[in-house]
Amino acid sequence: MIYDLAIIGGGPAGAAAGVYAARKRLRTIFITKDWLGQSNVSEKIENWVGTSAISGLELSQNLEKHVKAYAPGIVDFSEGHDSGVKNISKKDNYFLIETGKDSFEAKTILITSGSRRRALDVPGAKEYEHKGLTYCATCDGPLYSDQDVVVIGGGNAGFESAAQLLAYCKSVTLLSRSDYKADPGTVEKVLSNPKMKAYTNIAPKEVKGEKFVTSLVYTDTKTGVDTEIPTTGIFVEIGSIPNTDFVKDIVTLTAYNCIVTDPRNQRSSIDGIWAAGDVTDGLFHQNNIAAGDAVKAIEDIYLWLNTK
């Protein structure tokens, strides 16, 4: 069959799109490996509108439940490890979407595939991953109880990780390449903790260790001076990379591989393809914004399908 819509990606943007597509009775195929957006690693999310505090995992579970509550008879699902999209091509008046296990035909596509964490690219980082270097404070933080740890990254994710680690670590040192980019309130609260240290204009240079991490070497980019700091745990929060490999030859991307969209309606450069959330070139990337952009896209898709 040819679906009205294919939604690709199961984070907040994809879930919001799924709910609205179901309520508008758009025959939809929902394609996702899982429902775990980047916030899945957050111990507590306090800015999801309507909920004072919720864990990232619970938010992901709630989003999935909400979509599937409206889905029967309207939305079909392709889920699991092999459900990642490998290729999209245009066929007459519809698109062919090929995954690792199936292929689907749809009149329109909404890409909500999000982004993935950027890896630390310095000597020793790969060698000591899961041996003292990690990308998830929620997952691994408790293993570093009463130890001196380092957080690399000055955005919200970096400061949120630091806040988690302060609950059980002996000390936390945050290193930021530039001025802090986190919310001022979050920065003030985290830096007020006596166990916390933070430095700007810092570039990680090398991860050192034996069987496990023992230290991190960093460079002060203003003075050029190198410093080696003893640590047993390094938590990396240095941004993300949009998941756009499967559309890089179809739609227009920015220099950072984000999908270029019209902010009025989330349309991409190709007629029939929309995008929402962290995968786009939107100026701000947050859960609430991703969900709102997805709703905006569905409204436009509905009109596009019914007025052509």
pLDDT digits (tens, 9 = 90+) for 152-186: 999 988 999 999 999 999 999 999 999 998 889 99
CA dihedral sign, ordered 38, 40, 46, 48: positive
What is the model's pLDDT at position 41? 65
Q: What is the mean pLDDT of residues 247-267?
A: 96
CA–CA gap between residue 237 and residue 24 (Å, rounded): 38
Question: Where is average pLDDT lowest: 21-25, 46-50, 120-124?
Answer: 46-50
Label residue 31 by pLDDT band (50, 70, 90): very high
Label residue 104 by pLDDT band (50, 70, 90): very high
Label residue 202 by pLDDT band (50, 70, 90): very high
Calculate the average pLDDT of the chain. 93
CA–CA gap between residue 162 and residue 248 (Å, rounded): 35
Label residue 284 by pLDDT band (50, 70, 90): confident
Percent of the chain with pLDDT over 90: 79
Residue 223 has pLDDT above 70, yes or no: yes
Q: Structure pTM?
A: 0.77
Q: What is the mean pLDDT of residues 124-150?
A: 90
What one-character DSSP code corresponds to residue 262? Answer: -
Question: Where is average pLDDT lowest: 41-45, 49-53, 56-60, 93-97?
Answer: 41-45
What is the model's pLDDT at position 43? 67
What is the model's pLDDT at position 44? 72
Percent of the chain with pLDDT over 70: 99
CA–CA gap between residue 184 and residue 1 (Å, rounded): 51
Q: Residues 268-284, buried b or exposed e (16+ Cβ, 10 A)?
A: bebebbbbbbbbbbbee
Q: What is the mean pLDDT of residues 213-241?
A: 96
With CA atoms as reference, report the closest residue to 34 among 121, 125, 114, 110: 114
CA–CA gap between residue 274 and residue 266 (Å, rounded): 6
CA–CA gap between residue 277 and residue 293 (Å, rounded): 7
Label residue 203 by pLDDT band (50, 70, 90): very high
